[in-house]
Amino acid sequence: MSETFKGSFTQQEPISDAAIEAAVNVLRHGRLHRYNVDRDEAGEVALLEQEFAAFVGVKYCLAVASGGYALACALRAHGVKPGDPVLTNAFTLAPVPGAIASLGAVPVFVETNAALGLDFEHLETKIWASGAKTLLLSHMRGHQPDMDKVLAICAAHQVQLIEDCAHTMGGSWGGKPSGSHGLSACFSTQTYKHLNSGEGGLFVTNDADIAARAVLLSGSYMLFDRHLAAPGREHFAAITGDVPNISGRMDNLRAAILRPQLADLGAQVSRWSALHKAVSQGLRDTPGLALITPDPGAVRVGSSFQFLLSDWRADNVQAVVARCGARGVELKWFGADQAAGYTSRYDHWAYANPPHLPMTDKVLAGLVDMRLPLTFCADDARQIARIIRAEVGAVFQQGDAER
Ligand SMILES: *Cc1c(COP(=O)(O)O)cnc(C)c1O
């Protein structure tokens, strides 16, 4: 009889006892609002910001209500205005073009290649054609392109780089933490990301003026000097009347449960790497299936797994997804005509007038995606790989998968 996987692809680990204790402490004193602090008390949010800035190796950090809020706040803090074109990858998640559209700015999609990175030639073409001065680069599913090349292109065209690190928190490129390459970067602490506070976001930058604007935008009133990872007063004085309050602060309860998780993140990244490696090894040399080749500079966080069934017919890819699903392995396909669950693609975002992108279409037509929660162990990862390997093989050997 063929084996079936019994684990849940949507079950994260429980919140640790240390984090629960920290949360209960906040509930007991009742000062949940970030600026409601006792005398000589820094507050959990301010401490989280300080610790996260140190983790990424940047000067300034702002904790906010969600990853999507962090993205929109970053765009505003960078001075993006309604009608401005903003470059972003065609392969990303809905909150990224959504953040651009929330300002009345216009997403300009850049082709995604088979390594799930930006196509640099198309990036330059779109910079020329659109006149865009901002690139919101989404490291979707943890895949980072050659960041030296990205920075060189941005420098050559005076394009400011904002990194979306929702899937690369804890990862690095060229030995530098993800989120420290661009002018600023955004992270999410939503349940399915690398830290879990249900909802939440983090914004980082080394630019004092951008940081000051972000703090004011998030709804700091005149309490910005209660921040521990924000620039000094002098950066706020000249701009307080010019920056609207668009409230989106993080609260002390969420920050309290994030701080112990952040302290553990390095260990969690190693556990994700082990899971990812086990699946990768189990799928190596599977006929018809291609693994994604990472950029050599990238250290990835293996919280999800992608592979390509390139040039397969749609019904055959769907058969693999269905057959694996029947054996407990939940795969998602980026080639579907309709958005499903969390999976959607650029041409589903009609509001953004998506162009036709043949390179991206070809990649997404064969792209299969899977979560790897830390509730899985190495044996689970090996079993999942065996099941995928068997079902890809079964469909491929029927002989009608196009090559
Ligand atoms: C989750 C996610 C976001 C936004 O995060 P939320 O906290 O859910 O708003 C942004 N980009 C990517 C790629 C994501 O997966």
Q: Which residues pair with 368 in a beta bridge?
A: 307, 333
Strands 160-164 and 106-110: unpaired
What does the pLDDT look like over 59-109, one tens digit per residue? 999 999 999 999 999 999 999 999 999 999 999 999 999 999 999 999 999
The answer, yes or no, to whether residue 363 has pLDDT greater than 80, is yes
pLDDT for 279-313, tens place per residue?
A: 999 999 999 999 999 999 999 999 999 999 999 99
Distance in Å, CA 93 to ligand 1 centroid: 7
Cα distances (Å, whole numbers) of residue 327 to 151, 306, 386: 44, 18, 11
Query: Same structural domain for residues 237 and 149?
Result: yes
Q: Does the pLDDT at position 401 exceed 60?
A: no
212 inside domain:
yes
Both 182 and 293 in one domain: the answer is no
Spacing, Cα 396 to ligand 1 middle (Å): 34
Number of domains in the chain: 2
| Residue 386: burial class (beta carbons within 10 Å; 0-12, 13-18, 19+) | middle
| Distance (Å, whole) CA 19 – CA 1 | 43
Q: For 27-55, how does the pLDDT look when each residue is reduced to its tens digit (9 = 90+)?
A: 999 999 999 999 999 999 999 999 999 99
82/170 same-domain check: yes
Q: Is residue 11 one of the residues assigned to a domain? A: no
pLDDT digits 0-9 by tens, 148-190: 999 999 999 999 999 999 999 999 999 999 999 999 999 999 9
Ligand 1 site, residue 93, Cβ cutoff 6 A: yes
Nearest Cα to 78, choosing from 177, 154, 152? 154
Q: 206 and 77: one domain?
A: yes
Q: Is 138 in the pocket of ligand 1 (CB under 6 A)?
A: yes
The stretch 128-138 carries a mean pLDDT of 98
Whether residues 78 and 164 share a domain: the answer is yes
Among 188, 306, 344, which is best to mutate for testing ligand 1, by the most ligand atoms less than 8 A from CB? 188
Res 21 pLDDT > 70: yes
Task: Tell me which of 218, 245, 260 is where a domain ends.
Answer: 260
Question: From the CA of 68, how far away is ligand 1's center (Å)?
Answer: 6
The percentage of residues in the chain with a pLDDT greater than 90, rounded to a whole number, is: 94
Ligand 1 center from residue 197 Cα (angstroms): 13
Q: List pLDDT tens digits, range 207-230.
A: 999 999 999 999 998 899 999 999
At 135, which CATH number?
3.40.640.10
8 within some domain: no
Residue nearest to atom 6 of ligand 1 (CA): 67
User: For position 188, what pLDDT does the model report?
Assistant: 98
Residue nearest to atom 5 of ligand 1 (CA): 67
Final residue before a domain boundary, out of 260, 280, 313: 260
Instruction: Identify whether residues 271 and 136 lie together within a single domain.
Output: no
Full residue range of the structural domain in which residue 150 is found: 17-260
In three-state form (DSSP H/G/I as H, E/B as E, the rest C), the secondary structure along 329-357 is: CCCEECCCCCCECCECCHHHCHHHCCCCC
Give the gyration radius of the chain's Cα atoms. 22
Cβ 167 under 6 angstroms from ligand 1: yes
In a domain, 4, yes or no: no
Q: Of 205, 228, 260, at which residue does a domain stop?
A: 260
C-beta 67 within 6 A of ligand 1: yes
Instruction: Render pLDDT for 338-356 as a digit per residue (tens, 0 to 9).
Output: 777 777 889 999 999 999 9
Q: Is the CB of 201 under 6 A from ligand 1?
A: yes
| Rounded distance from Cα 300 to ligand 1 centre (Å) | 17
For position 400, what pLDDT does the model report?
59
269 plus 387 within the same structural domain: yes
Please report the pLDDT score of residue 78 as a whole number: 98
